[in-house]
Amino acid sequence: MSRTRGATGAFWLFVGPFVVGLAVFVYLPIAWSFVLSFNRAQNTVQPREFVGLRNYLDLLRPGPFLDSLLTFTVFAVIIVPLTFVLSLLLAVLLNQVTVARAFFRSAFFLPTACSYVVASLVWKLSIFNGVRFGLANQVLSLVGVENIAWLSSANPPWYWLVLATVRLWLQLGFYIILFLAGLQRIPAELYEAALVDGAKQGWQTFRYITVPQLRTTSVAVLLLNLIAAYQAFDEFYNLLGNSSLARPPLVYLYYTAQGNQDYGHGSAGAMILAVLIVLVTLVQGRVYGFGRPER
């Protein structure tokens, strides 16, 4: 009995601070945000007047919040397939490297440790500066292309290229590591048996062995990538600010809650976004069979 009590005490000694921090800084703000979403809370975080679903109805009418969801949709259509395909292909290539394997894996993973704010500013001030001294414009000038204002409202909208490349550079290494972990779980005997049966090494083994065996990892990558796209903020805020060109939900909610001090509508928008993330996650997991064993 004393040994059990000692183990329980040691458990709460290590886990207790984390549980308290999680409750105070995560669950309590979520619960308070849920309360504020049904109240008028202008210039205060205290509920002033119960308004029911009015905040939600205001946001769901045609306007800037729905436009921000459209921006997210465009961003997700660009970034999710690109990240998935590139991370999978690079993981397959890295898994076959036998020389300096640790170096190449570290090189691809290193950008994930970089701050989104710092990377966004490097992209804005150095690479896609918009003047002829910017790196991108200097490279294009070598083939006779004139300067491009990357972050303006020009047609075509070049700012999507800036947003997509900075996000790819920052997150690609993380998903490569996930795919590498999945690739290392595939038994080598499967590939040997396929070669014995006459399968050609390359596309056939990749299509009929590698991809099916990575089903669980693939679904996890898609879910994490889509959720990350929903939560896009730093690159949009630091590259475009509150521009109407491309304003995702979190940027709109930030300016609603902090700029206009309208915590009622800001909290309602946060709840809508949370529900959308949960629904998309459940539907996607259901469609792709997340959690079911691989065959």
Per-residue pLDDT of the chain (295 residues; tens, 9 = 90+): 555 666 677 788 888 889 999 999 989 988 999 999 999 888 877 888 888 899 999 988 888 888 888 888 889 899 999 999 999 999 999 888 878 778 888 888 889 888 899 999 999 988 998 777 888 888 888 888 888 888 887 767 888 999 999 999 999 999 999 999 898 888 888 887 877 777 777 787 888 888 888 888 888 898 889 888 888 888 888 888 877 778 888 888 888 887 778 888 889 998 998 898 888 888 877 776 665 555 5
Q: What is the pLDDT of residue 233?
A: 87
Q: So where are the chain's domains?
A: 56-122+157-288
Q: What is the pLDDT of residue 276?
A: 87
Q: What is the pLDDT of residue 4?
A: 61
Map tokens 């590939």 to a residue: 191
Q: What is the pTM of this model?
A: 0.81
Phi, psi of 106 (to 5 degrees): -65, -40
Are 290 and 284 in contact by the 8 Å Cβ rule? The answer is: yes
Are 101 and 184 in contact by the 8 Å Cβ rule? The answer is: no
Q: What is the pLDDT of residue 172?
A: 92
Instruction: Please name which of 68, 76, 23, 74 lies closest in space to residue 269, comparing C-alpha atoms.
Output: 68
Q: What is the pLDDT of residue 174?
A: 93
β-partners of residue 49 are: 40
d(CA 264, CA 48): 10
> Could you say which of 3.40.630.40, 1.10.3720.10, 1.10.10.10, 3.30.2020.30 is the CATH number of the domain covering 56-122+157-288?
1.10.3720.10
Q: What is the pLDDT of residue 291?
A: 56
Q: What is the pLDDT of residue 6?
A: 61
